[in-house]
Structure 1
Amino acid sequence: MAIDAIGPRIPLYTKEFAADPHRMYRAMRQDYGTLVPIELAPGIRASLVIGYHTAVRILNDPENFPADPRLWQRTVPADNPVMPMLEWRPNALRSSGADHVRYRQATVAAIAEIDLHGLHSVVARTATPLIDGFSANGGADLISQYAFPLVFQIINVLLGCPADIGQRIAQGTAIIWAAGENAEQGNKMLTDAMLELALLRRANPADDIVSRLIKHPARLSDEEMTHQIATLYGAGIEPTTNLIANTMLKMLTDDRFAGNLLGGNLTTRDALDELLYTDPPGANYCLSYPRHPILVDGVWLPAHQPVMISMAACNNDPEIRGSGGFLDNRAHLAWSAGPHACPAKSPAYLIAQDAIDQLTDVLPELSLAVPADELDWRPGPFNRALAALPVRFPPSRPAAMP
């Protein structure tokens, strides 16, 4: 049976989906099985994989499921709001074969040289003034006042990016992830700023990821450098910001973790692992485009049409959840799998864990400022992202004050 024949397409861009995606995934599983016909934006069709074992097979089969979208791009409007998230770029995420190997090797090598011990210090130096900025107020939005600026500043340090260029990159990235009507504007803002960074580091190399990419034997051109930087910022800022915020929400609302703020048994790492397993911030992504019509789990997927992995749904597949004892199980898909698996898992873990520990060490009596069911989740087909995370706490003197 063809994917179009198994039922109506489900839109993933609505506020209703964002408000309770897990209810939607359960309904999809009941009505469709492991493959679901969806829309990423009005008129933009795709197939969503919600079966864990099916996802693993596809992620490890780049021959039949390549990541290059160029043939698909010719068939859809260029100005559709998800195009900046899906369009071809000369980088590892959107390439196949020898091109993918070349870009992937350069990126992995550049990330591998991150000094993780030094990164602890970077997080601490970044977190302290941010916390000082609101610790005396008795309340804050942990996204706009802490998680986002912290991750943004740290990524700039790792990539050797001056603050002014980084600000434009951050703004463009956020617009693209939102997949709204200004997506193309955000894409241009992002591209222009990244080219400026590449040219700056080519003229003035330093000990940072961008400089290491430039020095790599792959000999990346300015255009190629621009798109490697796009991947690093896109995968660095938005998902890590949401990982911090969503983990904080879990720790503030789940009694098993809430106690940790005042010395409980479960750690920040436990909370991160459980969130990545049950409700990953990068909920739906890892796109591929079948080379030819292909039969998967009794369903024909069309050639050159997007196939997207739902990490959130696959991680919650009843076939793998068993008894529900998942705290020590890190075999989830939050970092993807196969040849396109995230190469920055270790620094991302470190940044998120240190950011949360820094905050809770200074403000151990944090609590939500509104009921959890009143929090607003941002619509969009890719992210599991809060619009804001308002908290309150007893005011305390900033650490920098005598």
Structure 2
Amino acid sequence: MDTHHSPAAAGARCPMHDGTFTADPQQIYDFVRAHGPAGPVELAPGVDATLVVEHEMALRVLQNPSLFARDSRRWKGLNEGRVPLDSPVLAMMAYRPNCLYTDGAVHLRLRQAVTASLDRLNTRRLRRDVEPIADFLIDQFSERGRADLINDYAKMLPALLFNKLFGCPADIGDTLTGALGAFFDGVDVQRANEELTAGLMELVSIKRRRPADDVTSWLIQHPAGLTDEELKDQLIILMGAGFEPLRNLIGHALHLLLSEEGAGGSGMLVEEAIDHILWNNPPIANYATHFPVQDVDLGGLIVEANTPVVISFGGANSDPALKEARESRNKGAHLAWGAGPHACPAKDPALVIAVTAIERLLNALPDLTLGASDDELQWRPGPFQHALVGLPVRFTPTPATRMVSALQTAAPQPAAEQPGVQTGAEPARAGQPAPKRGFWSTLVDLFRV
């Protein structure tokens, strides 16, 4: 075993920020599991938590909101000043008034608005929205004969898609795309959070004046009567929680399909690859932070009230007790989508988006091959995900004509029916310089052709 990447000694907190988890997540899960269904870890310097790696114990926590709360204002270490305020994990753990960090009646009210709005996204609409964005991104690199499928495709597609689904005018869409990327990469998080907040508050203001056929407008119109602040925070969780998991799900599935285990070997189908990833490398590996309302015994480990209990979806899925379910890929057994009152409300849309994005790419570039061995691939740091930095590929160069062809064959829609394209966009103010154009601005122009 590499001593540089070895778990902590028995009785110590297992660090998840020193390269150990990045190098080998399963090593961490096995180390914790050897001492019980849950164990003490350090998510970042000065940020202690309990990691649950047993499937049965994970369900106990996820399905018991009366004992395990999600409201991180309970966090004892943070309230007592023992958690560094500049910690990189605070952006993912600190309280926001949205359905991820609330409990009881407040959570129910916010969640009903979110689920009702997401339910209006049908499969046909999602496919129709994903396909031209996929074509646009493929056109950006198809003539080169090489690409990085994470940064050129899997990262950009969810960001651009959400701009469309949430009805973002071009300038706001560009701001949100950049801010979300910086937010999850831990680069200048404070600035990214400020830009994200300002952009979403402007979007809410626009949609209150000019509602359209998009998720933001549907949230505004819901009988829950969300305030502007509540709307902003529901949008943050919807965009953020969708952006990063989709990036990882698409990227991991593509990696698998292009490897010897996937298309290079057994000819695995896209849906099979996604199921494999959900079981073996879930898009979010460790999260769903809970705070026990009283001291609690987790299989022999006494966890103090109001301290973070983190669910390891990756660890729970690899629980030896699930061997039979894992081998049969029983979709109802894995915890990649969570469980209980806070289970992911966007499971079905996420699957449609991922399958469509992957199929569109593989059909466009059928001779894709990996451009690096597994030993050469790098993984992003951080305790919440085991995600690729990049995925280099090679293929036969092809003309960048897919987007134009798709637009020529698609029936034009009135502007009012194109969420995020022109509806609700504010005119440029006289005398102001034109904003820097990003991917979303360019894609919007193509939709106007």
Q: How high is the TM-score relative to the length of structure 2?
A: 0.84
3-state secondary structure, aligned to 1:292: coil
Q: Distance in 1 between matches of 2:323 and 2:363?
A: 33
Within the alignment, does 1:168 sit opposite 2:175 as a pair?
A: yes
The 3-state SS of whatever aligns with 2:366 is: coil
1:322 to 321, 324, 327: 324
CA displacement at 1:11 relative to structure 2: 1.7
- For residues 319 and 263 of structure 2, what CA distance do their matches in structure 1 show? 24
Contact 1:170 1:233 in 2 (8 A): no
2:32 to 12, 28, 34: 28
CA shift, 1:258, in A, is 3.0
SS at match of 1:398: coil
* Bigger shift: residues 57-66 or 141-150: 141-150
CA shift digits 1:10-37 (9 cap, x unpaired)? 221233321221222222222x221111
Structure 1 CA distance, aligned partners of 2:338 and 2:223? 27
Runs of 4+ with deviation above 6 angstroms = none
Matching residue of 1:281: 283
| Residues 109-133 of structure 1, C-alpha deviations (whole Å, 9 max, x = no match) | 0100112211111111111121122
Match of 1:245 in 2: 251
Work out the CA distance in 2 between the residues paired with 1:28 and 1:170: 37
1:38 paired residue number: 41
Cα separation, 1, equivalents of 2:208 and 2:128:
27
The CA distance in 1 between the partners of 2:330 and 2:67, in whole Å, is: 33
Structure 2: distance between partners of 1:344 and 1:287: 19
Contact kept, 8 Å, 1:127 with 1:358, in 2: the verdict is: yes
Query: 1:17: which partner in 2?
Result: 21
SS at match of 2:86: coil
- The aligned counterpart of 2:98 is 91
Q: Greater CA deviation, 320-329 or 333-342? A: 320-329
Question: Deviation per CA, 1:321-353, whole angstroms, max 9, x where unpaired?
Answer: 238523343421111000000010111101111
SS in 2 for 1:236: helix
Q: 1:34–1:51: 8 Å Cα contact kept in structure 2?
A: yes
- Range with bigger deviation, 325-334 or 355-364: 325-334
Query: Is the contact made by 1:168 and 1:189 (CA closer than 8 Å) also made in structure 2?
Result: yes
Counterpart of 1:201 (choices 203, 207, 213) is 207
Work out the CA distance in 2 between the residues paired with 1:239 and 1:170.
15
Task: Describe the superposition over 1:230-277 as per-residue Cα deviations: whole angstroms up to 9, x where unpaired.
Answer: 0011111111011101110111113343357xxx3x310010011001
Matching residue's letter, 1:301: V
Q: Deviations over 1:345-395 (max 9, x none)?
A: 111101111111001011111111111111010001112211111100122
Contact 2:37 2:53 in 1 (8 A): yes
- Deviation of residue 86 (structure 1)? 0.8
Q: Which amino acid aligns with 2:37?
A: T
1:74 paired residue number: 79
The one-character-per-residue Cα deviations of 1:86-107 (angstroms, maximum 9, x if unpaired) are 1111111000111101101100
Q: Which secondary structure state, in structure 2, belongs to the residue aligned with residue 36 of structure 1?
A: strand
Distance 1:334 1:300, change over 3 A: same
Superposition map of 1:260-339 within 5 A: 264=267, 266-322=268-324, 324-339=326-341
Aligned equivalent of 2:387: 385
User: How big is the alpha-carbon RMSD for the aligned residues of Structure 1 and Structure 2?
Assistant: 1.9
Contact 2:262 2:273 (8 Å CA) reproduced: no
> Which sections of structure 1, spanning at least 5 residues, go unmatched?
none
For 1:75-224, what aligned pairs fall within 5 Å after superposition?
A: 75=80, 76-179=83-186, 182-224=188-230
Cα 1:213/1:101, change in 2 over 3 Å: same
* Matched positions, count: 393
CA shift, 1:177, in A, is 2.5
CA distance in 2, matches of 1:125, 1:236: 19
* Consecutive unaligned residues in structure 2, runs of 5 or more: 1-8, 406-449
Letter of the 2:47 counterpart: I
- 1:347 is matched with 349
User: Deviations for 1:39-66, whole angstroms, at most 9, x for unmatched residues?
Assistant: 1110011110000000011000000001
**2:235 match:** 229
Cα distance change of structure 1 residues 117 and 361 upon mapping to structure 2, 3 Å threshold = same
Change (3 A) 1:390 1:56: same
SS of the residue corresponding to residue 91 of structure 1 reads coil
- Aligned to 1:49, which of 48, 52, 66? 52
Gap change, CA 1:124 and 1:33, over 3 Å in 2: same
Distance in 2 (CA, whole Å) between partners of 1:112 and 1:309 is 27
Give the letter for the 1:356 counterpart. I
Contact 1:177 1:382 in 2 (8 A): no
Equivalent residue letter for 2:251:
A
Q: Which amino acid aligns with 2:232?
A: T
Equivalent AA in structure 1 for residue 222 of structure 2: H
Mapped to 2, the partners of 1:259 and 1:399 lie a distance apart of: 31
Using the alignment, how far apart are the partners of 1:253 and 1:23 within structure 2? 23
Superposed, 1:346-365 pairs within 5 Å as 346-365=348-367
In structure 1, how many angstroms separate the alpha carbons of the residues matched to 2:92 and 2:32? 24
CA distance in 1, matches of 2:116, 2:22: 36
**2:354, 2:284 → 1: CA distance?**
14
In 2, the alpha carbon distance for the partners of 1:144 and 1:178 equals 12
- Could you tell me which residue of structure 1 aligns to residue 61 of structure 2? 58
How far apart are the structure 1 equivalents of 2:326 and 2:333?
14
> Which has the higher Rg, Structure 1 or Structure 2?
2
1:85, 1:176 within 8 Å by CA — same for their partners in 2? no
> What letter matches 1:13 in structure 2?
H
- What is the SS of the residue equivalent to 1:361? helix
